[in-house]
Structure 1
Amino acid sequence: MSATETADTTAGRRQPGGASTLAGHRVARIGFGVMQLAEHRPGRPAVTAEAATAILRAAVDSGINHLDTAEFYGTRAANANDLIRAALHPYPDDLVLATKVGAERDAANALLPAQRPEQLRASVEANLARLGVERLAVVNLRRLDAAPGIIAEGDQRVDLDSQLAELVALRDAGKIDGIGLSNVSAAQLRHALPAGIACVQNSHSPVDRASEPVLDLCREHDIAWVPFCPLGSAFPQWPKVADLPAVRTAAAALGVTPVQVGIAWHLAHYADTLLIAGTADPAHLAENIAAGEVRLDAETLAAIDAIGAIGAIDAIDSGAVV
């Protein structure tokens, strides 16, 4: 049976996009990624602490209860976890905090691999301390075998079994509820299944379908699917989903925005998809939340499915477990 719930309210609050489960926690299918609030992108103004607090509180007030974060989002002095704690602590009872390990910031704030088991443990402890909690709902292991992002080399090329053993030990100790994987192949996910995997975070969108074999395995095992770059525009080789003719045609016909059509496609593509689009713009937040009400008919879904795919991580789907 799928983990997806048919009801879409919790404690009297509507859950955007409906409800599913993540590591045993009931969550809205439209969540929020905090990275954009903590990292200054060229050509965009930095997000102030006041603006970050306002958008996080607005997200939670709207029914979003799944926040995606990481200790390495931002700088060593000020990061995404600081923003979450300042805005929301003490946390609502139903708030689900999912973080990521596998990288860290050095003294100059450069992003470096941190794949060794002892580094994973240290990162979990750092997340716990910075967020001010005793337990994390989910810890996602970000593998660094292939793009996008930094690549592990030398002693940072760590076997998956050693990493999973450390995360299982942390779960057994009550530090985390669920183990997630990020940027993995179908072979790696299949290898990790005995450890108990709560979710997978891979790049995926109508223009980036290389992870479909991983998604198929998630479907088979009722594993939550948490796509990053869901609108396809974070890297130069991916066009923006909202610019595609099939998406724009559907948006015009439905009287919604192309972004909302892109989000609705994800929600329809797999019942246990959880979206973590982030934004610093209240209008964009409202747009994302409203996308949970958009329904695409079979013809529209087929037209978007036909857009095709470009390779992103299929090079690591050779069957080898690194």
Structure 2
Amino acid sequence: MREFGYERVFDVAGAVALLGTDPGARPLGGGTNLVDLMKAGVERPGLLVDVQELPLGTVESTADGGLRIGATVTNSELAAHPDVRRRYPALAQAVLAGASGQLRNMATVGGNLLQRTRCGYFADLGKPCNKRTPGSGCPAVAGEHHNHAILGASEHCVATHPSDMAVALAALDAVITYETAEGPGELPLDAFYLPVGATPHIETALPGGALITGVTLPPAAVAAHSRYRKVRERASFAFAIGSVAAALDVRDGAVHEVRLAFGAVASRPWRARAAERALTGGPADAEAFAAAAEAELAAAEALPENAYKVTLMRNLVVAVLTELAEEAAR
């Protein structure tokens, strides 16, 4: 690991000043991803700005009935919060599905949003990677790609986003708030993560020098009837090979409202809007759920070793929505 500077900050203005004046500066929360990448030589910040002491560690209700989550709230605190568990259960379930208890105790909401892909080529300095070194190539396309993207990828990158939390946030219409030297700003999560295109190294629309200050969840009655389901290659402490965050409101046997997002299938959390359109107003049954999943997955461009994800995701959508529909009928 090469030498780097370290500054601990206690107010947002001080953090933003350091991040905005030093292009090599990076915010440091729990460090569960950034420090590992620094040890591997993938990340090489010249300055770490320790933000753990900032006053961004609370979960509070908003005036309109939503929820405001501070950027330094740990994953464990988020998953255990009674308002999250009651009003947005898919989010609590998604957080608990990620990593181990020890890591959740350290990892922060802001850091979770900015974590990098777990693609083996990205982490291996001996291999080319467009996400790490733009223009060097994407060996995963012809190489090891069994857990890579089937939606929204490009010839330049087929890596997937690793976050469980962000998938639930995508389904819940979360808004990311941030601070810059010019003042505060916000981005809907749909706009926060950028399409991979020809620039996979540019992952978010966050302005240069910006500090994530929190996440706002809008009020939504349907969110209380939500679920997150993750499929992985071992029972615990593993990244997803496919996941679904869903919320469902069924009235008189028909879908009144539905929210659906996929994980581990694209470079960002994938909001399944085609499936939502197909479902809204129609019957809440397994046949309709399967048809909606197929409508979303019609855009899939699978590689030889990850084509199984199309079937996996279809079955996962049917299973999760069926469970929610059966609960609504009780």
* TM-score of the two chains, using structure 1 as the length reference: 0.26
Rg larger in structure: 2
* TM-score of the two chains, using structure 2 as the length reference: 0.26
Of Structure 1 and Structure 2, which has the larger fraction of its residues in helix? 1
Larger RCO: Structure 1 or Structure 2 (Cα < 8 Å, ≥ 6 residues apart)?
A: 1
